[in-house]
Amino acid sequence: MPSQHPDTRTLLIAERDQNVRELQQYFLGEAGFAVEFVDDGQAALERAQLIRPTLIVTEILLPKIDGLALCRRLRDDPLTRDIPVVVFSILAAAGRASEAGANAFLRKPFVESIFVTAIQELIAAQPTGAMEEQWA
Amino acid sequence: MGIAAFPDVDIDSSTGDAERNERMSSGNAEADYILGGGFPADSINIIMGHPGSGKTIFAEQLIFHNAGEGRPILYFTTLSEPLPKVVRYLQGFRFFDEMKLGTQVIYEDVGPQLAKEGAPALIPLLKDAIQTLSPKIIVIDSFKAVHDLAPSVAERRRMVYEMTALLTAYGTTAFLLGEYTEDDILLYPEFAVADGILELSRRRLGNRDERYFRVYKLRGSRYLEGAHAFRITDSGLDIYPRLVSPRIPEGYEPASERISMGVGGLDEMLGGGLWRGTTTLLGGPSGAGKTTIGLQFALEGARCGEPTLYMNFQENPTQLMRTIRGLGFDLEEAQAQGLDLVYASPVELQIDSIIVDMFRRIQQRGVRRLVIDALGDLASAATDPQRLHDYLYALVQHFAVSTITSVLNVETKGNTISGNGMQDAMSYLSDNVLLLTVEGEERTRRTLRVLKTRGSAHDTKVREVEISAAGLSILE
């Protein structure tokens, strides 16, 4: 069950492709992360506000709220504006992801050595104070 | 998988495969050229062909080339060939590297499990392989054999769909090998989802076989269409890309320099020699003097210090050297000055390999003069008249753009150059056409006539010629 409390190792992932989910679940699990998946941008926003995950990964092509709009909404909300966001998409949209406020862009398909490393480095790059404040 | 970290975060993309190119080399330079730079990374490709067509060799050349540090390569053998058999024959190829086996190149025989559990077992096998090995390339040999295990069309389609979804989600380049035929492309669902389709084929031609490499489909790529001949050697596939017409460079203008043919009196008949970069068709029956004129033209080039190539399918090297010495030339000196004599037996000729070899020599040596003796041998090596015509047209265009002055000898049946499809086509394509004749019973009488010179006035008379120890010359 998803945690209701801040967890420094919980990642929220908005992804609809079952194969991508399985790969993320497996390799992030191997790296010590807990992963919660949602199907659409609206659910991602609501879960982010509620559980405030360590990091959010989102595809752009999502129903209800697309991944880029999700980034902007997360950045506009004081509760979620400091959570790092990775846009992980089949679309070549690094520029648009940056403009929307994402911290990094990764292009599909999934390669664990790149994906897991990028997430670990983004988390490590977060100021400790900001993390603590976020969890307060 | 591409990565872009935005300015406030410094992600070291050198970990993992972030530096991967968007295209993956096949390990074969000619195949990469045909493919427009290799296979698109993370694509799904089908390599089809009958048994013995070279599919497995092509795939193995590819995997050993790409094996290295980082993620390994996985080769699934299914029901077509047991693993020990695959590896036993693999050892005969120069690209085989035992040090890579088991670490960078991993062979797995999944045949027994597939035979027991059926085609759907492939999906969990792939998932398990991805989780445990993280392969950057996956080869399934034979995928058609897996496909044929599925009991119904619905199950086949489901299996192909699930496999495609998995291989699309994960960053790997996949090669599905199979004994498919062209008709199968419309029947089997894997062809609809494949990003690339290659065919290796073999055609019996008399006592020898001709092999062809063809790309049917390669998404996102400017590939070279058509059939490209190849041979199988201990290096793998030796491919000869089909010759296509060159792009005409911007600002291209024909050369305005005339060069000598090295034949006394002939330059005057041509209005002052040949324009550099032109193609001359030199026709005539056997014994009329074509080879002599060709040699004089080549030796004149060497004398002027021009890299010269003489492609000879008529006389073996010893015969040709004797002829050259008989004309009073020092062969060693001519070769030191830039003459390259190349002999290929017409029996062993494959037009594609000859053309590729010729262009390699032209590029390597910066050839300025060329003689082909004779075109008829190339014609007899070509199985398809249209293919021959396309080759000849492209050849003439390449010579013009590269400013290579060429003389193409052609043997006629009588004292006329028309009446043969290839000769008619070449008369039309060539800038200059010369016709030698030979007649007479008690005394042999040879003549030479200039039938055509493009961009130049010429002597319209039939001139008698003489062949002596000094070569062929025009009589007054």
Indicate the DSSP class of residue A110.
B
Q: Look over chain B and give the mean of its residue pLDDT values, rounded to a whole number.
A: 88
Cβ within 8 Å of B, A 23-62: 23, 26-27
Check CB contact of A115 with chain B, cutoff 8 Å: yes
Domain range annotation of chain A: 10-125
Shared domain check, B462 and B354: yes
DSSP H helical segments within B338-463, as ranges? 351-365, 375-381, 385-401, 421-429
Shared domain check, B380 and B271: yes
Q: What SS3 class is residue B84?
A: helix
Shared domain check, B268 and B137: no
What's the domain range around B454? 258-474
Shared domain check, B193 and B77: yes
Whether residue B1 lies inside any domain: the answer is no
- For residue B135, what pLDDT band results from cuts at 50, 70 and 90? very high
Check CB contact of B170 with chain A, cutoff 8 Å: yes
Strands B236-240 and B471-474: unpaired
Check CB contact of B169 with chain A, cutoff 8 Å: yes
Q: Does B369 have pLDDT greater than 60? A: yes
Give chain B positions within 8 Å (CB) of A106.
1-4
Check CB contact of A96 with chain B, cutoff 8 Å: no
Check CB contact of B13 with chain A, cutoff 8 Å: yes
Whether residue B228 lies inside any domain: the answer is yes
Shared domain check, B203 and B129: yes
- How many domains does chain B contain in total? 2
Whether residue B451 lies inside any domain: the answer is yes
Give chain A positions within 8 Å (CB) of B2.
92, 94, 105-107
Q: Residue A99's closest chain B neighbor by CA?
A: B6
Give chain A positions within 8 Å (CB) of B4.
94, 97-98, 104-106
Whether residue B248 lies inside any domain: the answer is no
Check CB contact of B42 with chain A, cutoff 8 Å: yes
Whether residue B3 lies inside any domain: the answer is no
User: Quick one: pLDDT at residue A134?
Assistant: 40
Q: What SS3 class is residue A107?
A: strand
Q: Residue B17's closest chain A neighbor by CA?
A: A114
Indicate the DSSP class of residue B173.
E
Shared domain check, B32 and B142: yes
- For residue B129, what pLDDT band results from cuts at 50, 70 and 90? very high
Task: Lowest mean pLDDT of B60-74, B79-93, B190-204, name the range.
Answer: B79-93
Give chain A positions within 8 Å (CB) of B3.
104-107, 114, 118
CATH number of B153's domain: 3.40.50.300
Residue B3 has its nearest CB partner, among A19, A23, A106, at A106
End residue of a domain, out of B213, B240, B267: B240
CATH match of A10-125 with 3.40.50.2300: yes
Q: Which residues of chain A have pLDDT under 50?
A: 1-7, 131-136
* Alpha-carbon gap: A42 to the closest alpha carbon of chain B (Å): 24
> ipTM score of the complex?
0.81
- For residue B390, what pLDDT band results from cuts at 50, 70 and 90? confident
pLDDT tens digits, B1-50: 666 666 554 443 333 333 344 899 999 999 999 999 999 999 999 999 99
Q: Does B101 have pLDDT greater than 50? A: yes
**Contact at 8 Å (CB) between B139 and B76?**
yes
* Alpha-carbon gap: A121 to the closest alpha carbon of chain B (Å): 6
Where are the extended beta strands (E) located within B193-349?
196-205, 208-218, 228-233, 236-240, 258-259, 274-275, 279-284, 308-312, 339-343
User: What is the average pLDDT across B383-398?
Assistant: 82
The phi and psi torsions of B96 (rounded to 5 degrees) equal -65, 130
pLDDT tens digits, B292-344: 999 999 999 999 999 999 999 878 888 888 888 888 888 888 899 999 999 88
User: What is the average pLDDT across B373-399?
Assistant: 82
User: B2 and A22: CB-CB below 8 Å?
Assistant: no
* Alpha-carbon gap: A69 to the closest alpha carbon of chain B (Å): 18
Whether residue B176 lies inside any domain: the answer is yes
- CA dist B234 and B388 (Å) reads 29
Give chain A positions within 8 Å (CB) of B22.
none
Check CB contact of A108 with chain B, cutoff 8 Å: yes
- CA dist B464 and B269 (Å) reads 12
